[in-house]
Structure 1
Amino acid sequence: MTLPHLGLIVPPAAGAVPVDGKLLYGDRIRFSARGLGLGEISTRGYTEVIDSVVEKAVALKDEGVSAVSLMGTSLSFFRGAAFNRQLEAEMARATGLPCTTMSNAIVGGLRHLGLRRVAVATAYIDEVNVHLRRYLEQSDIETLGLEGLSISDVQAVGQVPTQVLVDLCIQVFDAQPGADGVLISCGGLVTLDAVREVEARLGVPVVSSSPAGFWDLVGTAGLDPRAAGQGRLFA
């Protein structure tokens, strides 16, 4: 039996498949990745690499994938919702494949869970948080509170401990009552353990960039995105 083969465009130059792919889907799906070589998590960093996204998508098509996602949240939202849609369309036109982005994934995940008013925890510096707030507003998602870890180093985001993420989520959720869920934004954060813990402690759904990115790509490819024990989005 031939495994489904899906393509990821990831920010780090090494082009490694994020750990969530294996944790969520085991050996059911094969993932391949191409790296953009993002220098820093900032508007300047995104501007330096964004024009190479489509060629990376074409390279993945040539590897035989059946769908492609740009697995960088801020890379796809930093110029707003219209640009995200345009980028998705350009990828699809160049490859002839179903294509999506991690910004689609977070909004799609929030909508799937019926979340419209969210507390937001991010890895980002302030300028990137401004872009995220605007993107969510353009997507009809109300941001009740937003706190970031002020990280711009691409490698450092993957080293953030689970407890730091849990504490940040609870802090931002408690700061302004009324949120119906939590969003964790930044595809470089390793969050599956934090998602489960925050959902258990707060009793509300949590959508996080990297898990949502895989959920969205698998669904975009026409496959079943569910994964047992991985939080409400995957139930």
Structure 2
Amino acid sequence: MRIALFITCFNDTMFPGTGKAVVEVLERLGHQVDFPQEQTCCGQMHFNTGYRPDAVPLVERFARVFGEYDAVITPSASCAGMVRENHPVLAADHGRAELQQQVAELVPRVYEFTEFLTDVLRVTDVGAFFPHRVTYHPTCHSLRGLRLGERPLELLRAVKGIDLVDLPAPDSCCGFGGTFAVKNADTSGAMLADKADGVLSTGAEVLCAADNSCLMHIGGGLSRQGSGVRTMHLAEILAATEGGVR
């Protein structure tokens, strides 16, 4: 199986360690992962802010760069959702027939990291060891968009040494939502405060999720409170061995 990592522009710029963690886990499971150098943004920012025709060249690039792979893995439920749900829309509205066909063929091969592990590779125990108290926040794109359900939790429960605790009101939004946090700062801040209170009530050392964008938002709130709670992408916990054999 030819596997490619779609790191996403957000992770590549701000959280490159997450992409490295994805590769480490997949290599531990015996798979080689390519990183196509020509990859760039999936176009979500353009699509969500009304610049849909400007996103089409990015759809074309995505189809060209990743079209030859059997599986395209991304550690972002948000960007996976953009590709699977909205690339076909953009191709149909603004693209050529050839692009529509390319997108239609590629979309079923694009996976969010946790669903690739559980649904395709059929594994939950990836050999991780992480002896810390952890709580998991299901981001809106992972929960409502991709409907990941229990997949991330199944993977976390299989981690050796972990103390996994439930997050109160897990299905409530953290208030990020991309430009929503900027355009509706007061509302976003109130939502963030509720989410941060929930995290603190668990006594967790680490908050994890399948989207670094939401972790950045919540982590900022927790940091400003001096809480000491760390944020980690789920892939980084799955890559951890805490001194064990890799």
| TM-score when normalising by structure 1 | 0.42
The structure number with the bigger radius of gyration is 2
TM-score (norm 2): 0.40
